Amino acid sequence: MTVQLRRDDLHASVSDPESASMNFLNEVAARFPDAISLAAGRPYDGFHSTDDLERYLRGYLAHLEALGLDDEQRQRRLLQYGRTNGYLGALIARMLLVDEGIEVPEQAVMVTSGCQEAMVIALRGLCARPGDVVLAVEPCYVGLTGAARLLGVEVVPVPESADGLDPDTVPAVAAAVRASGRRPRALYLVPNFANPSGASMPVAARRRLLDVAAEQDLLILEDDPYGLFGLGDEPRPTLKALDTGQRVLYLGSFAKSCFPGARVGFLVADQTVVDAAGRRTLLADELSAVKSLLTVNTSPVAQAVVGGFLVEAGCSVRAAGKAKTAFYRGNLRALLAALETSFGDDARVRWNTPAGGFFAVLDVPLTVDEAMLETSGREYGVLWTPMSFFYAPGSGGGRRSIRLSCSALPPERVGEGVRRLAELVRDRAEPR
């Protein structure tokens, strides 16, 4: 008799609604391989080549040699267990200064296995007691809500407006949390071209949010994987760049700027931690204890690849990534133009106009659930993501909204995808 485990006996994260939704999306995509996917939010394959790997590795090794590491030290650096917080602190700190005007010591940078691990580490480190909760913008990136559930940390939603998070909605949410005996530890948001909404916060709102966070004694978890991909060149200062009070933990990813398969991201935690004896340390150093038990250290081979990418870029991912920025701008413009062409005459359909990034949201006159997505793939040859996936389960949020992503498609496919979607909406619109 072989072992059979009851699914109910496994941790709730195994049947987590967010991962179930994402599994469903992957499964639908596999079943309808010829459908145009306006669901996939991954970067465009045309930017990635295995030819880059060797060049990046050689570039990083040359960089280490220039720093004075001998052959044996270089071998060890790539092939042995490594420093928990990683080796790219100096290059990343330089990149943050050059590209974002963020000034942080290299010791405050922890290299992580993707931004996803940075979220887990930040949540685990900050939420210490039962009743410690994280506030998060809603609709929310599922990586954050899923990570919180994995850790048993409650997420309290703060509804997003068309202009991203409205700072003045935060105090009431924080007060309600406190009134119930819980402690709001941090607020998670994506201020630039958010996933899933595409919304961005105006600069004045960013400044105001930092004031509100100080008033409310909240830390901010700023996630910024799309900041490079604005439609225009106007500066969008990150919260971390505006942060004079060390309120912000900055979560970074190389998935879009370099490539996702490297699984390299980072966490900036420059806050001071004081222990009972008055000894002062850096939050990044304290959090390394969490990281060491999760992944020991981020693969030094992967770090070397991303290190070579940074060296080649002269630590300016913005300057080196101009072709990517131009491509994603072109695709977002194509998406917005196609929406105007296909839905411009239909007053029942609305969409937002993101100022950059990979995503836009379409409001439609029908319920767009998993069954409708399946119909869409089978009968209309187009896939998309129900916005309900990004709201708290059972809240009813996002039932008539679709997340559209334009990052993974060749530009000429975007318009055809939207045209197919328009057919679905026309055929399936519910009577008013």
Ligand X SMILES: Cc1ncc(COP(=O)(O)O)c(C=O)c1O
Taking CB atoms, the residue at the shortest distance from ligand X is 114
Query: Where does 82-196 have alpha helices with state H?
Result: 89-100, 114-126, 142-151, 170-179
Residue in 386, 410, 390 with CA at minimum distance from that of residue 399: 386
To ligand X, the closest distance from the beta carbon of 359 in angstroms equals 9
Ramachandran sector of residue 198 (left: φ over 0; alpha: ψ -120 to 50; beta: rest): left
Classify 297 as helix, strand or coil: coil
Residue selected from 32, 56, 141, 380 as contacting ligand X according to rule CB under 6 A: 141
Between 102 and 424, CB nearer to ligand X: 102
By CB under 6 A, is residue 114 in contact with ligand X?
A: yes
Would you say 140 or 334 has its CB closer to ligand X? 140
Considering only 195, 200, 401, 407, the residue that binds ligand X (CB under 6 A) is: 195
Query: Under the criterion CB under 6 A, does residue 115 sit at the interface with ligand X?
Result: yes
Rounded CA-CA distance 75/354 in Å is 46
What's the min distance (Å) between Cβ of 76 and ligand X? Answer: 26
Nearer to ligand X, 253 or 342 (CB): 253
Q: Which is nearer to ligand X, 116 or 238 (CB)?
A: 116
Picking from 170, 255, 250, 162, the residue whose alpha carbon sits closest to that of residue 200 is: 162
Q: Phi first, then psi: give them for residue 110, nearest 5 degrees.
A: -110, 125
The region of 145-153, 232-240, 253-261, 312-320 touching ligand X under the rule CB under 6 A is: 253-261
> DSSP for 125-139?
HH--STTEEEEEEES
Binding segment toward ligand X, per CB under 6 A, in 109-117, 160-168, 174-182, 198-206 = 109-117
Write the binding mask 173 to 192 for ligand X: x where contact by CB under 6 A, - elsewhere.
-----------------x--
- With CB under 6 A as the contact rule, the residue among 17, 157, 237, 260 that binds ligand X is 260
Number of other residues whose CB lies within 10 A of the CB of residue 181: 7
| C-alpha dist (Å) from residue 74 to 93, 107, 314 | 22, 21, 21
Q: Which helix (H) or strand (E) holds 286?
A: helix 283-294
3-state secondary structure of 344: coil
Smallest separation (angstroms) from ligand X to the CB of 331 = 16
Of 36 and 255, which has the nearer Cβ to ligand X?
255
Minimum distance from residue 117 beta carbon to ligand X (Å): 7
CA dihedral 423, 424, 427, 430 (to 10 degrees): -140
Residue 308 or 415: the one with the smaller Cβ distance to ligand X is 308
Q: What is the token pair recorded at 299? A: 């693969």
Q: How far apart are CA 409 and CA 42, in angstroms?
A: 9
Q: Which stretch binds ligand X (CB under 6 A): 110-118, 149-157, 276-284, 319-327?
A: 110-118
**Closer residue to ligand X in complex, CB, 356/415:** 356
Residue 54 CB burial class (10 angstroms; 0-12, 13-18, ≥19): exposed
223 scored as a contact of ligand X (CB under 6 A): yes
| Interface with ligand X, residue 310, by CB under 6 A | no
- Unique residue bearing structure tokens 């996939």: 40
Which one of 253, 388, 401, 405 is in contact with ligand X (CB under 6 A)? Answer: 253
Binding residues for ligand X, total number by CB under 6 A = 14
First to last CA, the chain: 57
Nearer to ligand X, 19 or 375 (CB): 19
**Taking CB under 6 A as the rule, does residue 116 contact ligand X?**
yes
Figure out which of the listed residues 255, 317, 336, 382 binds ligand X, where binding follows CB under 6 A.
255
Return residues touching ligand X (CB under 6 A): 41, 114-116, 141, 143, 190, 195, 223, 225, 253, 255, 260, 265
